[in-house]
Structure 1
Amino acid sequence: MRLLLAPIAADLADDAVTEVVINRPGEVGIERRGGWTWRDVPELTFDRLDGIAVLCAAMSSQDVGPDRPLCGSMLPDGQRVQICRPPAVEAGTVSLTIRRPNSFSPSLAVLESGGLFAHTMDAQRRPHPADDELCELHRARDWRRFFALAVRSRKTMLASGDTGSGKTTVAKALIQEIPDDERLVTIEDAAEFNLARRNVVPLFYSKGDQGLAKVRSEELIEAALRMRPDRVLMQELRDGAAFSFIRGVAAGHPGSITTLHAGSAAGAFDALRLMVKQHEAGRHLADPDVRAFLRQLVDVVIHCEKRRDGSRGIREVWFDPDAKLASPAPILVAAE
């Protein structure tokens, strides 16, 4: 294993490094406190990465292959690694996300001198700093600026509508507003997003269990949360996978963008509630609690429509920051 890892051994030993990611053969991304740096590593061929994946899985008594393409394991020196092989990722690609353990054990005094508490507040719920401007843009119907600011402010956004209403097109336009320095993980059943970004990992599931891997979208969501994402972008919410998606947002991954089938912006919450209830962990939750929790987590709903003349457009936009200040129902975070 150490021989296979030799091209990134120095990175794995560097105490300043927090994350080492390989999104595709021949390139490695390194995250330090100052952000991401990238370099070409020709030695990291597909065969070498695949060998790392197989050996790493074997070291923790797991199998990883076409029918089981996901694996969480440990490297010899204790680094955690999330492995994604085809068909959960694109053919010819292996994704490795390696997190270095933090050996730094500071005292409270050291943390204070380093500025850790400089912006600490009590836990009372407050409006988001961008909400006033977003409300003004919403009232003025300045939709382009509203959507751009909502994305940059890490608002969780749903594009709803019927089949052919243009909701995926809207979602793709929103994604273009995400800053380039963010790490994205997408979850799709077919390659629709096709993001031209360096730090993105597209994950694929088998729709209707038709593929070899039988990987469910819920499994990909759980894997994505271990891949150091700034945002998890899901092509479309379906069935009980909505529970895992919403719980991921609640667990500290706001700013997600996804789509779902619904007849109106208000109807999107009803559709999402029904999906949450289809999950085993959500079926016994009270409807009022689920509704309240969803309105805590979903910031913007954009309802798309296909008009009679064949054109597509946005019919309505739901945005209600006051819902964030209502009493939360913290039921989906711990439930499973």
Structure 2
Amino acid sequence: MTNITSEQVQIVDSCVKSILDQLHEEGKTFSNFTTEDFFHQTYREFSNLGEQVQKRVSCEFLGYGPLENLLADPMVTEIFLAGADCIHYEKSGKVLRYLHDQFRSPTTYSLFCQKIFSEIGVEPTLERPVICANWGVHRIHIVAPPVTENFQFSIRLHRMSSISLTELANIGSVAADQRHLLERALGNRDNILIFGSTGSGKTTLVRAFLQSLPENERIVIAEDTPELQTPNPVSISMMTRHSFETGEQISLSQLVRESLRMRPDRIVLGEVRGPEAKDLVLALSSGHTGSFGTIHARTAREALARLEVFVQMGAPQWDKATVRRLIFDSVNLVVGLERSKDGKRRVCSINRLSSLEEFGITLDSEAI
């Protein structure tokens, strides 16, 4: 952490407040300031500071301050911010307190918040104190007063690195026999439902699946957050749009329906979490094989139960027998992931849907 004294922070903080007041009178915003403009306005205050301190203070007022290093670390997957001096992050499956740095001034923390709101195109209000939006390639969730005492940021960092099933096997996330089974399932064009808790590695496994597909297949991806990369130029990725962003809302259900008009070889749904499940099972049961998606669940049976609930959210008029028949006809394999106490992620189960009975769907542990 760069050594900046409290006196230096107070001097610069006072100077920035004066700049903000001046910009407000002129109807301008601080975001229009460049580094050169900033140092020109604060030359006297900065003239006796070293270059390292100048860079850190510039980052404090014009960038993301103490988050810069966390954002640049490819091993950091989430950042939790609960105030100027309360920063946590997830790395290698563990949540840690960030003790190396913090926002040095309430003014800079306020500027950081306003910068985020400007970049995501929406600001929390009393009427809408909770916001979930895309921040570049990342996902950000904001809870504001009066729901909480101060702004709470949860930033899910999406690292667009690709990984293969072989690489997952090399690091112990997939056993060798599991890798062969999954490769065979992809080759046989099984429809696969991947389940697990938050942070268990579902998205990583989907990325590995995408890397395992033939280069000439057209994959249509539908997701809420830009987590997945298309595996080849002929494939396409579509994202939902919230109504507060730019006009009409575009839901996952709509994206699934639109994907059917794009001649997909496979459909990939980033996460099943609502009524789009109805459109997905209709598509898969009508012959769109080789597709896959993820769902939050702890067990294979819970994954199917949650999928059943989500289908009924989209088609409440359907009875349970109809829903279960569609699920049985559309899903072939259920793959489970888990994260152990030491943060390691691994495939914990692979089950095939074997029969549909009056009491529900039966599962068999897939033979290797």
TM-score, normalization by structure 2: 0.47
Partner of 2:213: 178
Query: CA distance change for structure 1 residues 210 and 163 in 2, over 3 Å: closer, same or farther?
Result: farther
The question of whether the paired residues in 1 share the 8 Å contact of 2:220 and 2:266 is answered with: yes
Instruction: Quote how far apart the aligned CAs of 1:260 are.
Output: 0.6
Secondary structure of 1:225's partner? Answer: helix
Residue identity in the other structure for 2:318 = L
Match of 1:211 among 237, 241, 245: 245
Is 1:323 the equivalent of 2:358? no
Instruction: Quote how far apart the aligned CAs of 1:286 are.
Output: 1.9
The question of whether the paired residues in 2 share the 8 Å contact of 1:152 and 1:179 is answered with: no
The aligned runs of 1:98-109 (5 Å cut-off) are none
The aligned runs of 1:277-316 (5 Å cut-off) are 277-279=312-314, 282-316=315-349
Bigger RCO of structures 1 and 2 (CA < 8 A, at least 6 apart) = 1
Q: Name segments (4+ residues, structure 1) moved above 6 Å.
A: none
Secondary structure of 2:277's partner? Answer: helix
The question of whether the paired residues in 2 share the 8 Å contact of 1:159 and 1:168 is answered with: no
Secondary structure of 1:277's partner? Answer: helix
C-alpha offsets along residues 52-79 of structure 1, whole Å, 9 cap, x if unaligned?
Answer: xxxxxxxxxxxxxxxxxxxxxxxxxxxx
Partner of 2:201: 166
Residue identity in the other structure for 2:336 = H
Structure 1, unaligned runs of 5 or more: 1-89, 91-139, 328-336
Match of 1:142 among 165, 174, 177: 177
State how far apart, in whole Å, the 2-side matches of 1:211 and 1:152 are: 39
Instruction: Quote how far apart the aligned CAs of 1:296 are.
Output: 2.2
Residue identity in the other structure for 2:183 = A
Partner of 1:106: none
Instruction: Quote how far apart the aligned CAs of 1:289 are.
Output: 2.9
Instruction: Quote how far apart the aligned CAs of 1:199 are.
Output: 1.0
Instruction: Quote how far apart the aligned CAs of 1:183 are.
Output: 0.8
Instruction: Quote how far apart the aligned CAs of 1:239 are.
Output: 0.7
State how far apart, in whole Å, the 2-side matches of 1:230 and 1:288 are: 29
Is 1:202 the equivalent of 2:202? no
Instruction: Quote how far apart the aligned CAs of 1:152 are.
Output: 1.2
Residue identity in the other structure for 1:147 = L
**Larger Rg, first or second structure (1 or 2):** 2
State how far apart, in whole Å, the 1-side matches of 2:245 and 2:299 are: 33
Secondary structure of 2:245's partner? Answer: coil
C-alpha offsets along residues 89-134 of structure 1, whole Å, 9 cap, x if unaligned?
Answer: x9xxxxxxxxxxxxxxxxxxxxxxxxxxxxxxxxxxxxxxxxxxxx
Secondary structure of 2:290's partner? Answer: coil
Secondary structure of 2:233's partner? Answer: coil
Partner of 2:268: 233
Residue identity in the other structure for 1:240 = P
State how far apart, in whole Å, the 1-side matches of 2:181 and 2:332 are: 12
What is the aligned-residue RMSD (CA, Å)?
2.4
State how far apart, in whole Å, the 1-side matches of 2:231 and 2:350 are: 28
State how far apart, in whole Å, the 2-side matches of 1:251 and 1:314 are: 29
Instruction: Quote how far apart the aligned CAs of 1:313 are.
Output: 1.0
State how far apart, in whole Å, the 1-side matches of 2:299 and 2:185 are: 20
Secondary structure of 2:249's partner? Answer: coil
Structure 2, unaligned runs of 5 or more: 1-135, 137-174, 359-368
Instruction: Quote how far apart the aligned CAs of 1:284 are.
Output: 2.2
Partner of 2:143: none
Instruction: Quote how far apart the aligned CAs of 1:264 are.
Output: 0.5
Secondary structure of 2:308's partner? Answer: helix
State how far apart, in whole Å, the 1-side matches of 2:254 and 2:322 are: 25
State how far apart, in whole Å, the 2-side matches of 1:267 and 1:303 are: 11
Instruction: Quote how far apart the aligned CAs of 1:210 are.
Output: 4.2
C-alpha offsets along residues 246-266 of structure 1, whole Å, 9 cap, x if unaligned?
Answer: 111122211111001111111
The question of whether the paired residues in 2 share the 8 Å contact of 1:152 and 1:177 is answered with: no
Equivalent pairs counted in the alignment come to 185
Secondary structure of 2:232's partner? Answer: coil
